[in-house]
Homo-oligomer: A and B are copies of this chain.
């Protein structure tokens, strides 16, 4: 049976100093005599002292929590980023406080206010649905980083892969295999990342001297159903193509399903490439070629930068590469 939690007064008494001194060794704000320092530290060990988070925050100190707002906790990509954040933070004195934006700007804004009400020391957005204007505002209130979403301004607070380049490489991979009629199923069109991927797709075609065919560009929604429907529609119209580049993996899975329903084989008849490299991608039939985003590392990078910034240490944001992971859903065109 554990006795009541030790307070700062308890350890002050035991170490024969004042609360003030204890607080000082706790926060390392003012130098304290070596002897007293040691005594205080010993007392803290013995009584298993853990500062009360609430008293601390109330007194104007730090809350030792980092607010993490994900666009949608359920997405595998965002989830992996979260894992990275958790993993790094668990080695520090900070804790993540998660909230879900539910894909809606208002919900997200409200969630941020609540987070702020809990005196978070930092704010990490995973994915995003807020305007950069809003983000800048928040950054004025508390250190803010954005992960997994490309920003136009505020680039030094943004950890993201170069989506345009990644999409360019994905498309180039198909072109190099001899494909000329390449479908692109886009992501949700007000996502910057989705737009950048479309741009990369277009540049790859253009630079290879292939005319862009608007009919091959289908609106998707980052989900399986829209990938499936897009391909079905194309097939129904009798449109010819030999490859599909989908804006993410589930979408690519939907596309593959539609192809198989029409007895088209992947990759013999049509090559398919996805984006994200989520866990399931390597176990689809056939295993899927996709663009790997280093989601976990991105999460770690964000957390690292955040902790450094809060403690006013210097840091540099890593340049994380997205790479085409070639598996078996893409093959030479014939």
B-chain residues with CB within 8 Å of residue A99 when the two chains form the complex: 95
Q: Report which of B53, B260, B280, B282 forms a contact with A285, defined as CB distance below 8 A.
A: B260
- A178 CB–B CB distance under 8 Å: no
- A118 CB–B CB distance under 8 Å: yes
B-chain residues with CB within 8 Å of residue A96 when the two chains form the complex: 98
- A208 CB–B CB distance under 8 Å: no
Of the candidate stretches A79-87, A161-169, A212-220, the one touching chain B is: A79-87
- A35 CB–B CB distance under 8 Å: no
- A257 CB–B CB distance under 8 Å: yes
* A228 close to B283 (CB less than 8 A): yes
Q: Bound complex: CA of A257 vs CA of B281, how far in Å?
A: 11
- A25 CB–B CB distance under 8 Å: no
Query: Which of A55, A90, A283 gathers the greatest number of chain B CB atoms within 10 Å?
Result: A283
Of the candidate stretches A125-133, A148-156, A248-256, the one touching chain B is: A248-256
A 297-330 contacts with B by CB, 8 A: none
CB distance from A236 to the nearest CB of B (A): 19
- A143 CB–B CB distance under 8 Å: no
- A50 CB–B CB distance under 8 Å: yes
* A82 close to B73 (CB less than 8 A): yes
Q: Bound complex: CA of A284 vs CA of B261, how far in Å?
A: 11
Given contacts A254-B283, A286-B260, contact A76 B76 (CB under 8 A): yes
Q: Report which of B82, B83, B260, B283 forms a contact with A224, defined as CB distance below 8 A.
A: B283
Q: Report which of B50, B83, B283 forms a contact with A100, defined as CB distance below 8 A.
A: B83
CB distance from A96 to the nearest CB of B (A): 7
- A105 CB–B CB distance under 8 Å: no
CB distance from A75 to the nearest CB of B (A): 9
Closest CB pairs A-B (n = 8): A224-B283, A253-B283, A98-B98, A54-B58, A54-B57, A54-B54, A260-B285, A86-B100
